[in-house]
């Protein structure tokens, strides 16, 4: 036979308050049990405990007995005797008592969950608790937004690979894995596959490589609720390196997924509504380019169902794009930096790095041999400062060389595209166009080409 639990709590401050003493509560609660014909009951008394949380000895014993299915009722003098926290009160009633069929009674509020009116009161309390939770969540989000707007990291959660979180300053700090992050971008831009990169750098799986590549925090941006904010943390890579990697990702994705023979598939955008455009067979005359907002088959691509973009002949647009590429190539003049060979500056820096390392090692050997000399130590420290400066220059130049190599590749394409164009097949032509063009925007019959250089 189950027992009714009479729970009594008296905090130190309320010992002398009328009606709150342990004896007063015991008297009224036991009288209630007698009036309801409840013969078997047990007292659970927390004397001198605050109601701000449920970490109380007798409360914990009560919870254990409820979970052991020993309790039929939980009876209190007043709701705040159970807890002063609405959240804890609802937790006890909804998550502890109800699942075990335990009725809850509060004398002061005339609340009895075994009756329809008591359950109604519980529902009202739950609704108010839910409202409070939503308000807390809203205030938290507002506070978090102000935090990231000022450039601070969100705190908590996962810290991006390559960074540690400085709680005192509220910012990300590059750690020893930052160099791995730089290597990931370098190897990916050079053409290495994500799984190959993961194997080379000791990462668990290729998906982690994708995750690292697409994190904007790597170049100093914090993303929060779909918005971007400039962070106060030190970037690991430049924005230019990030953009090149994303461009490479799009190119590879297109090559894997696209078997279309159409030259501009995937590059076409409507200038009126911003939706993508597609090739559509138009009788025996060829294909026209159609805005996806005018195609009801793929609703997720619709930007404006009332878009009035006209349908233009695909071969005419392709001709405009080819002419624009040739014109761009004819007028293109490489910058002075593009005439440099990648690695020219780095080779010199690497030589200096090696030389300084040898000098420092030699001086340490002399010091270890017993030449206890303050001048010797000062010389070592000076060389270490120079080495640190050289290492920083190497890091910057390695990133510059990635950008330079990418630009030189596109420059070479531009310089040869016209003379090689007619000898290329459709797949080769598509590859060249995607290297040189970000997107083609069609507004009415006007064609705008956004070049990637």
| Domain boundaries, position 187 | 163-255
| Cβ–Cβ under 8 Å, residues 138 and 122 | no
Domain edge (last residue) among 212, 228, 255: 255
- Given a cut of 70, is residue 329 above it in pLDDT? yes
Residue 137: per-residue pLDDT = 67
Q: Do both 221 and 106 map to the same domain?
A: no
Strand partners, 446: 443
Of residues 344 and 348, the one with the higher pLDDT is 348
Query: Residue with structure tokens 């220059």?
Result: 393
Nearest CA-CA partner of 329 in 189, 428, 433, 443: 433
Q: What is the average pLDDT across 413-421?
A: 76
Residue 136: per-residue pLDDT = 66
Does residue 405 belong to any structural domain of this protein? yes
- Given a cut of 80, is residue 246 above it in pLDDT? yes
Catalytic residue positions? Answer: 11
Q: Do both 231 and 301 map to the same domain?
A: no
**What is the spatial distance between Cα 153 and Cα 354, in angstroms, rounded to a whole number?**
38
- List Cα–Cα distances, 164 to 108, 157, 177, 184, 233, in angstroms: 53, 12, 10, 18, 11
Strand partners, 163: 174
Q: Do both 286 and 435 map to the same domain?
A: yes
Tokens coding 367? 């010091």
Query: Residue with structure tokens 């209190």?
Result: 76
What DSSP state is assigned to residue 50? -
Does residue 149 belong to any structural domain of this protein? no
Domain edge (last residue) among 213, 231, 255: 255
Residue 16: per-residue pLDDT = 45
Residue 61: per-residue pLDDT = 95
- Tens digit of pLDDT for each residue in 83-107? 877 778 888 888 899 899 999 998 8
Residue 57: per-residue pLDDT = 92
- Tens digit of pLDDT for each residue in 7-43? 998 876 555 444 578 888 899 999 999 998 998 999 9
Least confident piece of the model among 25-29, 42-46, 310-314, 416-420: 416-420
Q: Do both 110 and 192 map to the same domain?
A: no
Spell out a b/e string for 102-124, using b for 16 or more CB atoms within 10 Å of the CB, else e.
bbbbbbeeebbbeeeebeebbee
**What is the spatial distance between Cα 178 and Cα 173, in angstroms, rounded to a whole number?**
9
**What is the spatial distance between Cα 428 and Cα 248, in angstroms, rounded to a whole number?**
16
Residue 299: per-residue pLDDT = 83
Candidate ranges 17-26, 343-352, 390-399, 434-443; pick with highest mean pLDDT: 434-443
**What is the spatial distance between Cα 293 and Cα 121, in angstroms, rounded to a whole number?**
51
Q: What is the average pLDDT across 269-285?
A: 91
State the sign of the Cα–Cα–Cα–Cα dihedral 190, 192, 194, 198.
negative
Domain edge (last residue) among 93, 115, 134: 134
- Given a cut of 60, is residue 266 above it in pLDDT? yes
Instruction: Please report, for the domain that includes residue 75, its CATH number.
Output: 3.40.50.1390
Rg (CA), the chain: 36
**What is the spatial distance between Cα 430 and Cα 251, in angstroms, rounded to a whole number?**
10
Does residue 147 belong to any structural domain of this protein? no
DSSP string, 404-419: HHHHHHHHHHHHHHHH
Is residue 236 classed as helix, strand or coil in its secondary structure?
coil
| Cβ–Cβ under 8 Å, residues 417 and 451 | no
**What is the spatial distance between Cα 216 and Cα 239, in angstroms, rounded to a whole number?**
9
Q: Do both 228 and 312 map to the same domain?
A: no
Does residue 288 belong to any structural domain of this protein? yes
Instruction: Please report, for the domain that includes residue 169, its CATH number.
Output: 3.90.1750.20
Residue 255: per-residue pLDDT = 59
Does residue 154 belong to any structural domain of this protein? no
Q: Do both 241 and 272 map to the same domain?
A: no
| Cβ–Cβ under 8 Å, residues 298 and 292 | yes
- Given a cut of 50, is residue 144 above it in pLDDT? yes
**What is the spatial distance between Cα 386 and Cα 380, in angstroms, rounded to a whole number?**
10
Q: Do both 10 and 129 map to the same domain?
A: yes
| Cβ–Cβ under 8 Å, residues 38 and 6 | no
Q: Do both 282 and 192 map to the same domain?
A: no
Q: Do both 19 and 130 map to the same domain?
A: yes
| Cβ–Cβ under 8 Å, residues 433 and 452 | no
Does residue 114 belong to any structural domain of this protein? yes
Q: Do both 278 and 195 map to the same domain?
A: no
Mean model confidence pLDDT for the chain: 82
Does residue 143 belong to any structural domain of this protein? no
**What is the spatial distance between Cα 78 and Cα 80, in angstroms, rounded to a whole number?**
6
| Cβ–Cβ under 8 Å, residues 227 and 283 | no
Q: Do both 104 and 227 map to the same domain?
A: no
- Given a cut of 50, is residue 181 above it in pLDDT? yes
Does residue 355 belong to any structural domain of this protein? yes
Tokens coding 347? 């080779």
Least confident piece of the model among 300-304, 338-342, 393-397, 431-435: 338-342
**What is the spatial distance between Cα 359 and Cα 346, in angstroms, rounded to a whole number?**
20
What DSSP state is assigned to residue 193? -
Q: Do both 284 and 390 map to the same domain?
A: yes
| Cβ–Cβ under 8 Å, residues 436 and 414 | yes
Q: How many domains does the chain have?
A: 3
């Amino acid at each position: 036979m189950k027992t009714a639990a009479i729970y009594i709590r008296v905090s130190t401050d309320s010992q002398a308050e009328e009606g709150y003493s342990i004896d007063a509560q015991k008297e009224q609660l036991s009288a209630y049990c007698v009036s309801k014909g409840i013969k078997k009951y047990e007292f659970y008394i927390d004397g001198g405990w605050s109601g701000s949380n449920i970490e109380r000895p007798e409360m914990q014993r009560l919870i254990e007995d409820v979970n052991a299915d020993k309790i039929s009722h939980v009876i209190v003098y007043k709701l705040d005797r159970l807890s002063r926290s609405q959240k804890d009160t609802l937790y006890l009633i909804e998550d502890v008592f109800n699942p075990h069929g335990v009725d809850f009674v509060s004398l002061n509020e005339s609340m009895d969950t075994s009756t329809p009116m008591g359950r109604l009161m519980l529902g009202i309390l739950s609704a108010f608790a839910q409202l409070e939770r939503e308000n807390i969540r809203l205030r938290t989000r507002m506070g978090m937004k102000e935090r990231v707007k000022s450039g601070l990291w969100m705190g908590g959660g996962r810290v991006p690979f390559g960074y540690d979180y400085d709680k005192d300053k509220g910012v990300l700090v590059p750690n020893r894995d930052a160099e791995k992050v730089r290597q990931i971008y370098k190897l990916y831009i050079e053409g290495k596959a994500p799984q190959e990169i993961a194997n080379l750098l000791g990462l668990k799986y290729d998906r982690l490589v994708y995750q690292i590549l697409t994190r904007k925090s790597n170049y100093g941006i914090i993303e929060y609720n779909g918005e971007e904010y400039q962070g106060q943390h030190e970037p690991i890579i430049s924005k230019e390196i990030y953009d090149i990697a994303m461009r490479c990702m799009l190119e590879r994705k297109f090559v894997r997924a696209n078997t279309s023979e159409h030259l501009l598939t995937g590059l076409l955008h409507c200038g009126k509504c911003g939706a993508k455009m597609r090739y559509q067979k138009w009788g025996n005359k060829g294909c026209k380019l159609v805005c996806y907002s005018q195609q009801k088959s793929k609703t997720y691509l619709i930007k404006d169902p009332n878009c009035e973009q006209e349908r233009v002949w695909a071969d005419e647009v392709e001709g405009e794009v080819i002419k624009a590429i040739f014109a761009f190539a004819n007028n293109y003049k490489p910058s002075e930096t593009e005439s440099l060979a990648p690695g020219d500056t780095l080779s010199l820096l690497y030589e200096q790095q090696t030389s300084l390392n040898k000098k420092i090692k030699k001086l340490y050997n002399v010091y270890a041999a017993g030449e206890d000399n303050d001048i010797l130590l000062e010389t070592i420290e000076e060389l270490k400062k120079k080495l640190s400066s050289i290492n920083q220059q190497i890091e910057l130049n390695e990133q510059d060389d990635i950008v330079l190599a990418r630009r030189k590749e596109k420059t070479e394409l531009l310089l040869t595209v016209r003379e090689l164009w007619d000898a290329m097949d459709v797949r080769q032509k598509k590859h060249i166009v995607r290297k040189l063009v970000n997107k083609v925007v069609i507004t009415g019959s006007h064609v705008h080409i956004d070049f990637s250089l």
